[in-house]
Amino acid sequence: MTARLTEEVGELAREINHYYGEKPKKATEEEKTVEEEVGDIIFVLACFANSLDFDLSESFHMAMNKFETRDKNRWTKKE
């Protein structure tokens, strides 16, 4: 699962680089979207959580609680 997650994150990085970075797609490369790659990552994370028998939703809520309390001043809030 970790290898698959790493692969998907790499694909997301590649798509971001195509759209926002210095390396545009080649004409022969398949058209994908950032949204598609994020979806793939979410799917792998869900599989990973299931394989380890924990609730992905609970993990998300724990992370959000951390960001809303301990890390609340680390991020720039968009209005």
For the chain, how big is the Rg over CA atoms in Å? 16
pTM of this prediction exceeds 0.85: no
- C-alpha separations of 5 from 2, 14, 20, 32, 77 in Å: 5, 14, 22, 17, 28
CB 12 within 8 A of CB 37: yes
Residue ranges per domain, the chain?
Answer: 2-68
pLDDT tens, 6-44?
999 999 998 898 888 887 777 777 777 899 999 999 999
The CATH number that domain 2-68 falls under is 1.10.287.1080
Q: Are 40 and 11 in contact (CB under 8 A)?
A: yes
Instruction: State pLDDT tens for residues 41-72.
Output: 999 999 999 999 999 999 999 999 988 888 87
